[in-house]
């Protein structure tokens, strides 16, 4: 594997699967060998569209393909656990879309299965892999802005979304928190770590999922994070981490930035550019390749413990705002 092409399977055929498959084409060492869906027709249509040689009408058939090195799970949230577990049980490496599952208990079960089987497993939290984000994390850790004191981040979409849309439908793990809020939460975790206290409030829609959610995290250091997510108004979708000696600002679409601005006390602002082709999904795919070639079952950029910590935070927020899934 250290020399040859990495062979991918794509599980599910929705919009995010399309974007990921398109970006995989930017990696010469990647080959999309197969696609699987719940129906043969959907799999074949996707395969024909992207020139994929093998199409399977079930997830189990895809997972059983011994020629695959890794499978990208791109289903709605509610199906991540089932689909990823099928792949892990078959011995396939897995890159599973975020949030990994609907709750931390199921996340622990999936990661435990991967660990027991010695199978590569990674949550597709692409933000953690992007060069601008990695650079910002290094700057904070190196003391470029002093001691971190405050994080602000928002992610809101204007809508409106129909009741059956995945962002509102509880059967699909809907609500702003899991789909959008995971990004501000991840940003705060990157800069400040796991919080010591969590406070949350939300407006709950008629479907029982959150439409507009605010979170405040408190840390033993005295740092705070103020985060919002929603599907009832387009927010700035920006993020900032402030310290005792400066701050770093992320522009709109902070979760996949191509630049950051560093403000140091007494110095002119520095704009740092990090351009890349495509949408950026190929960057997390390249991290998967690196891990597979190194014989790793866990990515140091998206470690299992962090995935579980963030799911624990999301669970705590959901308990406070009263969102529950069957």
Class of 6-125 per CATH?
Answer: alpha beta
Choice among 98, 168, 247, 289 that is catalytic: 98
The predicted structure's pLDDT at residue 117: 97
Phi, psi of 304 (to 5 degrees): -60, -40
Q: Which CATH architecture has domain 131-275+309-321?
A: 2-Layer Sandwich (3.30)
Full-model pTM: 0.96
pLDDT digits (tens, 9 = 90+) for 144-198: 999 999 999 999 999 899 999 999 999 999 999 999 999 999 999 999 999 999 9
Tokens 């020139």 correspond to what residue? 51
What long-range pairs does 97-101 form, CB within 8 A, spacing at least 24?
Answer: 97/16, 97/72, 97/73, 97/123, 97/124, 98/123, 98/124, 98/125, 98/182, 99/123, 99/173, 99/178, 99/182, 99/310, 99/311, 99/314, 100/307, 100/311, 101/77, 101/311
Fold match flag (6-125 vs 131-275+309-321): no
The predicted structure's pLDDT at residue 244: 98
The pLDDT of residue 2 is above 70: no
pLDDT digits (tens, 9 = 90+) for 252-299: 999 999 999 999 999 999 999 999 999 999 999 999 999 999 999 999
pLDDT digits (tens, 9 = 90+) for 192-218: 999 999 999 999 999 999 999 999 999
Phi, psi of 216 (to 5 degrees): -125, 125
The predicted structure's pLDDT at residue 147: 98
Answer yes or no: 98 catalytic: yes
Q: Is the model more confident about 260 or about 4? A: 260
Is the Cα torsion angle 72, 81, 291, 54 positive or negative in sign?
negative
* All structural domains of the chain with their residue ranges: 6-125, 131-275+309-321
The predicted structure's pLDDT at residue 326: 81
Rounded alpha-carbon distances, angstroms, from residue 196 to 182, 186, 187, 290: 18, 15, 16, 34
Residues 6+ apart with CB under 8 A from 112: none
pLDDT digits (tens, 9 = 90+) for 83-104: 999 999 999 999 999 999 999 9
- Given pLDDT bands bounded at 50, 70 and 90, which one contains residue 46? very high
- C-alpha–C-alpha distance, residues 144 and 300, integer Å: 23
Residues 6+ apart with CB under 8 A from 99: 77, 80, 123, 173, 178, 182, 310, 311, 314
pLDDT digits (tens, 9 = 90+) for 300-314: 999 999 999 999 999
The predicted structure's pLDDT at residue 4: 79
What long-range pairs does 50-54 form, CB within 8 A, spacing at least 24?
Answer: 50/21, 50/22, 52/10, 52/21
């Amino acid at each position: 594997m250290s020399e040859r092409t990495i062979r991918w399977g794509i599980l599910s055929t929705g919009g995010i699967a399309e974007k990921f498959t398109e970006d995989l084409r930017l990696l010469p060492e990647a080959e999309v060998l197969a696609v699987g869906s719940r129906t043969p027709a959907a799999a074949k249509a996707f395969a024909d569209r992207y020139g994929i040689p093998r199409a399977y009408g079930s997830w189990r058939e895809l997972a059983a393909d011994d020629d695959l090195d890794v499978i990208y799970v791109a289903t709605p949230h509610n199906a991540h656990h089932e689909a990823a577990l099928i792949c892990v049980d078959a011995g396939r490496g897995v890159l599973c879309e975020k949030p990994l599952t609907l709750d931390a208990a199921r996340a622990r079960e999936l990661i435990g299965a991967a660990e027991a089987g010695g199978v590569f497993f990674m949550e597709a939290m692409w933000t953690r892999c992007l060069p601008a984000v990695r650079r910002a994390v290094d700057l904070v850790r190196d003391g470029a802005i002093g001691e971190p004191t405050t994080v602000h981040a928002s992610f809101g979409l204007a809508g409106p979304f129909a009741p059956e849309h995945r962002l509102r439908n509880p059967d699909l793990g809907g609500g702003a928190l899991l789909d959008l809020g995971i990004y501000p939460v991840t940003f705060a975790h990157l800069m400040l770590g796991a919080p010591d206290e969590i406070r949350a409030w939300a407006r709950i829609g008629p479907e029982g999922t959150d439409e507009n959610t605010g979170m405040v995290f408190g840390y033993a250091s005295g740092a705070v994070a103020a985060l919002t997510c929603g599907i009832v108004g387009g927010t700035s979708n920006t993020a900032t981490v402030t310290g005792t000696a400066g701050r770093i600002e992320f522009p709109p679409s902070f979760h996949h930035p191509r630049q950051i601005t560093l403000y140091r006390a007494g110095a002119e602002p520095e704009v740092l550019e990090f351009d890349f082709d495509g949408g950026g999904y190929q960057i997390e795919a390249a991290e998967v390749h690196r891990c597979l070639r190194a014989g790793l079952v866990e990515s140091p950029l998206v470690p299992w413990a962090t995935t579980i910590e963030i799911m624990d935070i999301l669970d705590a927020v959901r308990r406070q705002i009263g969102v529950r899934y069957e």
